[in-house]
Amino acid sequence: MSAIAFENVSRTPRAGVKGPGAAAWIAALDLPVPRAPNSWLPLPGGLIARLGLTEFLVEGSEAAKLAAPLSPGVYPVLRQDTALVLHGARLNELLLETCSVDFRALNLSTRPVVLTSMAGVGVTVIPGEGGGMPCCRIWCDSTYGEWFVETLTGVAGELEQPGHPCNQGVTA
C-alpha cells in the first residue's frame, strides 16, 4: 500500500467569482463568506474558499448557486481545474519535496488556503487532517493536470525507495 493516496476529484462541481461586489453577492445567495483572505469554510458536501480579498471558489453542490444573475461588480471566474485530494503518512514529505511551503507550520484551525507553486505549477492548496493523517486538497490549471499528477506520483514513489534520504535509518 502506498504511503500517499491520490484521489482525482476534478469532476466535483465548482464555480468562482471575483470583484468588489463578490462578498456581498455571495452572502445574498445565503452562502457563508470567509472573513479572512486565504481562508475557507465548509459547506454541505463542499466548501467555499476566499482567495485573496475579492475572489471566491465554491466547490460541491452549492456551486450551482453561482449561476445566479451577477450583480454589478461581480465577475465570473472559469474553474476548470484539475482537483486532487492527497492523504497519507508521507504527505508532508511529498509537499516538502515539491513546494517551498511547510504546511505543518500552519494553524489548521484558521482554515488556511495557500496559493503557491508545486513542482513549478501554480496551485491552490487547503491543508488538513483526516483520521489522524495529513491530507490536502489541491487545485491546478487543467492544462498541467496530467503532468502534475504524474510528477507528484513519481515523487511519491521515490519517497518509498529504500535509498531515499527520507528513509535513512528506517527499517521495513
Going residue by residue through the chain (172 aa), what tens digit of pLDDT does each one get? 468 999 999 999 999 999 999 999 999 999 999 999 999 999 999 999 999 999 999 999 999 999 999 999 999 999 999 999 999 999 999 999 999 999 999 999 999 999 999 999 999 999 999 888 999 999 999 999 999 999 999 998 888 765 544 444 444 4
pTM above 0.85, yes or no: yes
End-to-end alpha carbon distance in the chain: 13
Separation CA 168–CA 172 (nearest Å): 11
Sheet holding 82-87, edge to edge: 5-8, 82-87, 133-140, 121-130, 114-118
